[in-house]
Amino acid sequence: MKQTNKFKTISGMLTILALVGVLAGCGTSSSTTTETTKPAEATKSADPTKAPAKGVTIKVASSAGWTRDIDKKLAEQFKTETGNTIEFVISPDDQYTNVLKAKFATGEGPDIYLTSSGVAMNEYLPDQHALDLSNEPWVSRYTDWAKAGTTRNGKVIALNTWSVDGWGLLYNTALFEQAGVQVPTNYQEFLKVCEMLKAKGITPIYEPGKAEWHQETWLNTLGAMIAKKTPGIYEQFNTNKAKFADQKELETGLTQMKEIADKGYYGKDFMSQTWENSVDAMGSGKYAMMLTYSTFQNEVIAKFPNSKADTWKMFPVPLSDNKSWATSSGGIVRSINKDSKVIDAAKAYFNFLVKADNIKVYYAGRPDLGPTSFKDVEGKSTLAYSSVMANAKDGAGLDFEGGVQFFNQSTIGKAVQDLYLGGKTPKQVLESIDADRAKMFK
């Protein structure tokens, strides 16, 4: 796809997402702290007439996959410059939501907490907990999608330093050529591609079956297709007037996922495979495809420079003959707890992170990110990004996570794992999603 056409497509996509009201992509921290300490004492509210207190500790709650080495590096620099300490309070990916909610419920919420952007912010009751950041100076530098993806009830409530991205099937172009296959345009063609790859001794797909959240991602990629087929369906989901169990395309998609697993296209022991090993797996050249984000190839090429991962391309997940690419609302964002006793210091930390030099360092240290959230910082693109945009014949749109409340990764992921193990039917998986969401609405 030509560069000019790509940006026209992105612009059109973001306009559509903005009309939805929210816009919408993951590593492991090696440093953790306990979850039992209370926030440090200092001033409760920001006073613009005085400098932030020094020598305080700012607790930042994060899921394990959301805090990277570059975050820790910048935190150390912040401490050197201000005397204030950033303490990352890390929870396992599948426990973060429950841990954070429990902390808020007991009045021991962190000073800063990370969440998914867009409608997913609602899960943590932002009206009760998130500080209004609308008047912060860095808001004027936001891109349209970053501002829309961090806004609730007309107020900016989060800092976004991630990027717009989506999940698709990244494929090793050399292995496709070796097997004599081309990009499939529907599910039946996809099965043929998998069978031909398997016949050549190549495992068609690396699937980290042990990662609950990744199992949910397969369904998440069908959101744009569902929204295009039934305009207004996201609003119906968000008012509990529509049921996932009534979406035939989703039931078909789950049926096909089980078929893919049963045919061995994920490999023999995929349920024991982890997300943390995905870069090594794809860099080994043993797997032809993986469901991942469009900048993942940068991570592979960084660790395996001879893998030619920079030549890999991507196409939308063809379950239920899907031809749309579902994008996020802008990845992971940071909010300040309005009950924090170190609000001045927390705001100073945000201002530090978005300084021109620091934000450039941040994005340089995040090869997994693409288009930046700030208009004055140049972003990156990949061949996977341009190719999936070209292969998405029905265009791009918002995924379920970005546009639908209570689309819980862990709950859905467990149900899909149960599907693979024979414990649930596709219909029962969808019914379990509806049942879980009904509890959340109550």
- The answer to whether residues 142 and 310 touch, using CB atoms and an 8 Å cutoff, is no
Judged against a pLDDT cut of 90, whether residue 228 lies above it is answered with: yes
Locate tokens 């992971």: which residue?
332
pLDDT level of residue 6 (50, 70, 90 thresholds): very low
Residue 8 C-alpha from the chain's centroid: 23
Residue 387 dihedral angles phi and psi, to the nearest 5°: -75, -40
Q: Where does residue 395 fall: left (phi above 0), alpha (psi -120 to 50 degrees), or beta otherwise?
A: left
- The answer to whether residues 266 and 209 touch, using CB atoms and an 8 Å cutoff, is yes
**CA-CA distance, 30 to 44, in Å (whole number)?**
31
Mean pLDDT lowest for which of 40-49, 137-146, 396-405? 40-49
Characterize the bridge pairing of strands 151-152 and 155-156.
Answer: antiparallel
Mean pLDDT on 33-47:
37
Mean pLDDT lowest for which of 34-43, 147-156, 379-388, 409-418? 34-43
Mean pLDDT lowest for which of 5-9, 267-271, 346-350? 5-9
DSSP SS3 for 204: strand
- The answer to whether residues 282 and 314 touch, using CB atoms and an 8 Å cutoff, is no
Q: Note the CATH number of domain 21-164+330-364.
A: 3.40.190.10
- Percent share of the chain, pLDDT over 70: 88
Judged against a pLDDT cut of 70, whether residue 104 lies above it is answered with: yes
Mean pLDDT on 382-411:
92
pLDDT level of residue 367 (50, 70, 90 thresholds): confident
Positions of E strands within 218-331: 287-293, 313-315, 325-327
- Percent share of the chain, pLDDT over 90: 76
The reported pLDDT for the residue numbered 286 is: 97
Judged against a pLDDT cut of 90, whether residue 7 lies above it is answered with: no
**CA-CA distance, 267 to 98, in Å (whole number)?**
32
pLDDT level of residue 88 (50, 70, 90 thresholds): very high
Q: How many CA atoms lie within 13 A of 19 on its CB side?
A: 8
Mean pLDDT on 130-135:
98
Judged against a pLDDT cut of 80, whether residue 45 lies above it is answered with: no
Mean pLDDT on 401-408:
89
**Planar angle of CA 144, 329, 225, nearest 5 degrees:** 115
Q: Where are the domains of the chain?
A: 21-164+330-364, 167-327+385-441
Mean pLDDT on 90-97:
93
- The answer to whether 21-164+330-364 and 167-327+385-441 have equal CATH topology is yes
Judged against a pLDDT cut of 60, whether residue 62 lies above it is answered with: yes
Judged against a pLDDT cut of 80, whether residue 130 lies above it is answered with: yes
Mean pLDDT on 189-208:
98
Mean pLDDT lowest for which of 5-14, 107-116, 333-342? 5-14
**CA-CA distance, 381 to 111, in Å (whole number)?**
33
Judged against a pLDDT cut of 70, whether residue 38 lies above it is answered with: no
**CA-CA distance, 317 to 319, in Å (whole number)?**
6
**CA-CA distance, 254 to 416, in Å (whole number)?**
8
Q: Which of 285, 281, 263, 284 is closest to 273 using CA atoms?
A: 281
Judged against a pLDDT cut of 80, whether residue 43 lies above it is answered with: no
CATH topology of domain 167-327+385-441: D-Maltodextrin-Binding Protein; domain 2 (3.40.190)
